[in-house]
Amino acid sequence: MKKVISLLLISVMLFSTTSCGKKADESASKSDKEGTETQAEKSGKLTIWAWDPNFNVAIMNEAKTRYQKDNPKVEIEVVDLAKADLEQKLHTNLASGVKEGLPDIVLIEDYNAQKFLKSYPGAFADLTNKINYKDFADYKVSLMTLDGKTYGVPFDSGVAGLFYRTDYLEQAGYKPEDLNNITWDKFIEIGKKVKEKTGKAMIGIDPNDGGFIRIMLQSAGQWYFDKDGNPNLANNAVLKEALKVFKTIYNSGIAKVTNGWDEGCKAFNSGDVASVISGVWMTGSIKAEASQSGKWRVAPIPRLNIEGSVNASNLGGSSWYVLDSSKNKDVAIDFLNSIYAKDNDFYQKILVSNGAVGTYIPAQSGSAYSQPDEFFSGQKVYSDFSEWMKKIPPINYGQYTYEADSAIFALMPDIFSNKLSVDDALKKAEDQLKNQIK
Amino acid sequence: MAEVTKSNSFEKTQNRYGWFFISFALILIVIFLLYPIVYSFYLSTTETKGMVQKFVGFSNYARLFKDPMFIKALKNTFIFLIIQVPIMLFLSLLLATILNDKSIKFKGIFRTGIFLPAVTSLVAYTILFKMMFNSGADGMVNKALMSMHIIKEPIQWLLDPFWSKVTVMLALTWRWTGYNMIFFLSAMQNIPDELYEAAEIDGANKAHQFWYITVPMLKPTIVFTTVTSTIGTLQLFDEPMNLSTGGPSGTTTGPGNSLLTLSVYIYNLCFKYTPKFGYAAAVSYVIVIIAAILTVIEFKVAGDNNESK
């Protein structure tokens, strides 16, 4: 008898494995059943999903206040979710075909744009003729375009820069001009000098993070995939060069190895590293350490020693999408259009209070962009960033960026330790990736 | 004759009530347990990319064998299973034996102390471990080991494929040893003292008593804890996910995907990559099949001699 009972118990436990994947559905179906139908005088309720309360959510709340001034009848709720949670909810809801739990507007990371557009055809509203895309940076529009239709409203830019400590570099004998438009080889050379003279690492590196590789790839107008979306790893000269640079930085001793976001921020906030290469959105985290004011500057990112590579690239960034199933679709589009595609003053405001660089070109001649920043030794950093933004090579990220990232970085420990050559590793990664995305 | 009909109809009424009372539970089980089980099996025979779905039979299962990522996840899961589970169970058995000794004082405090980790939230304790096992020289564990001169250089706990596995195993052992110990402790209450007394008279020392009395008498409990731990390890998710850099949105799960377990792979397939719910369902059925096979083996190895009880 005892045995029968324990067998029963065990079989229940066994099967709970299969059912646990379903849990997410239940939590995701918490819905708001509000939302009215009249569209003439712009009323109704908009629900918006976004992540990062200090950045995206705060900015959306600013947009909400502005829109409600003219449209007091529109109710807007901005829901703050963790990025992974937001994506999980969106996937389960869209895949289940239940429309009720979905928001009206959702924030999607640019690397994931094609994934959502291709996986859920018809789920997002086609905005091709609703938004004037000529006002936005090219690279941003191309990543949200599928089969000639453009879906999102471009939001923040991830234009990359080389942030550096002027005091450390001065000690090593470098002036700000010496960092303008350099190559990665030069960057490593400078790093060695900095290490020698100051004892500080040149840069923080996270061996599990694909950020550097993505910055290098886009600076040469390349990606993990070719123009038709086929994996392009094994014969991708740019990627090979990028991996070699990454490996050299890791093994050359000029880098402080960090693990995860918090440790990465700690490395520069505590003064352990002389530079940071990241998207413009990193500005806020760098400025968080007020005692370092006046010690930083920003230069263009290094370029690869390869033809076609420029000193401008992008890391991250995201955009707003309207769900096609939204009951207040037109209000949602009008909201995004009148704030994000027209309101110049809005972009000045979010630049000052959140350090957000939009991809809306007309805003970049505004007053806030030309202000010198004391923290960056009086440099007009934002006008520099918007200059670099125009030079970012437009590419199609495709829908499998994270699969590719994972395939390559799974082999990274072997690349670092020379167990695998870069060529062999990329061959292996390409096979793996092809299998993964079949 | 009339008596019989009466008792029959009485039984019938009773049965009717019985079915009525359990029907609520049954309906809930069917909706929330049976339906998902059946549906996920159906799902595992389809190829999905988000909303786009088509029936492909068993090709998802065939594809598993050629998927290096799946094989890596399977390998990692088995490494955890083969190394961590035996160590943990032996430790809990040992602790239970020590705490069952009548001469030990403050037993309650020790028992509570060792059991306490089992009530902490999985995510909370994992985050704490991540902080303690910081790879730099300022991480708590590294600092302690260095100041005791056990190591000279800081260990790359979460940055090295080997050490990150060790960290997960340490975390798992901390979290679950006390939990399993409770099963052993309660089972030990059923071992009659006379056995030990007789053994002592026959000249058996503590080690003999442990191996020849305690362990055989605890066999059903050992099988039970082994099976539950096996299933738990096959479903391992929270620890590797949270200990790895960047959590769910990190590039890999642990350095070089060294912490990628089957459950994490299922998560990645559904939410991190282009969603392939069909393929993910196939992976989850593989876990079921493996768990079933292992359970049968564990029962067989343990033998059937407790059938008579």
pLDDT, mean of residues B94-120: 90
pLDDT of residue B65 exceeding 70, the answer is yes
Query: Residue B114 to residues B98, B111, B118: CA-CA distances in angstroms?
Result: 12, 5, 8
How many CB atoms sit inside 10 A of residue A395's CB?
18
Judging contacts by C-beta atoms under 8 Å, the chain A residues touching residue B269 are none
Percent of chain B, pLDDT > 90?
A: 61
Average pLDDT, chain A: 88
pLDDT for residue B228: 93
The span from the CA of A211 to the CA of A316, in Å, is: 8
The span from the CA of B272 to the CA of A61, in Å, is: 28
Average pLDDT, chain B: 89
Judging contacts by C-beta atoms under 8 Å, the chain B residues touching residue A123 are 51
Are the beta carbons of A120 and B295 separated by less than 8 Å? no
pLDDT of residue A154 exceeding 90, the answer is yes
pLDDT of B22-49, one tens digit each? Answer: 999 999 999 999 999 999 999 999 987 7
The span from the CA of B55 to the CA of A151, in Å, is: 30
How would residue B308 be classed by pLDDT, with cut points 50, 70 and 90? Answer: very low
Strand partners, A257: A205
pLDDT for residue B256: 86
- Say which of B41, B66, B277 has its CB closest to residue A95: B277
Query: What six digits make up the tokens of A66?
Result: 């502005």
pLDDT of residue A268 exceeding 60, the answer is yes
Total residue count of chain B as it appears in this document: 309
Rounded to a whole number of angstroms, the distance between the first and last alpha carbons of chain B is 40
Are the beta carbons of A209 and B247 separated by less than 8 Å? no
Environment class of B66 (CB within 10 Å of its CB; exposed 0-12, middle 13-18, buried 19+): exposed
Residue in chain B nearest A214 by alpha carbon: B251
pLDDT of residue A21 exceeding 70, the answer is no
Q: CA A91, A97, A101, A103 torsion: positive or negative? A: positive
pLDDT of residue A10 exceeding 60, the answer is no
pLDDT of A83-120, one tens digit each? Answer: 889 999 999 899 888 888 899 999 999 999 999 999 89
How would residue A9 be classed by pLDDT, with cut points 50, 70 and 90? Answer: low
CATH annotation of A160-315+394-437: 3.40.190.10
Q: Where are the domains of chain A?
A: 39-157+318-363, 160-315+394-437
pLDDT of A304-326, one tens digit each? Answer: 999 999 999 999 999 999 999 99
Query: What six digits make up the tokens of A175?
Result: 């002036």
CATH annotation of A39-157+318-363: 3.40.190.10
pLDDT of A384-430, one tens digit each? Answer: 999 999 899 988 898 899 999 999 999 999 999 999 999 999 999 99
Q: How near does any CA of chain B get to the CA of A4, in Å? A: 10
Domains contained in chain B, CATH given: 67-302 (1.10.3720.10)
Torsion on CA atoms A201, A204, A208, A210, rounded to nearest 10: -120
- Say which of B234, B251, B275 has its CB closest to residue A409: B251
pLDDT for residue B50: 66
Residue in chain A nearest B304 by alpha carbon: A3
Report yes or no: A184 and A212 within 8 Å, Cβ to Cβ.
no
pLDDT for residue B37: 93
pLDDT of residue A31 exceeding 50, the answer is no
Residue of B298 and B4 predicted with greater confidence: B298
Q: Of chain A residues 10-39, which have a CB less than 8 A from chain B?
A: 10, 12-22
Query: Residue B26 to residues A300, B32, B177: CA-CA distances in angstroms?
Result: 66, 10, 35
Q: CA B64, B65, B69, B73 torsion: positive or negative? A: positive
Same fold, A39-157+318-363 and A160-315+394-437: yes
Judging contacts by C-beta atoms under 8 Å, the chain B residues touching residue A115 are 273-274
pLDDT, mean of residues B206-211: 90
How many CB atoms sit inside 10 A of residue A290's CB?
7
Q: Of chain A residues 65-84, which have a CB less than 8 A from chain B?
A: 83-84
pLDDT of B111-169, one tens digit each? Answer: 999 999 999 999 999 999 998 998 777 789 999 999 999 888 888 888 889 999 999 99
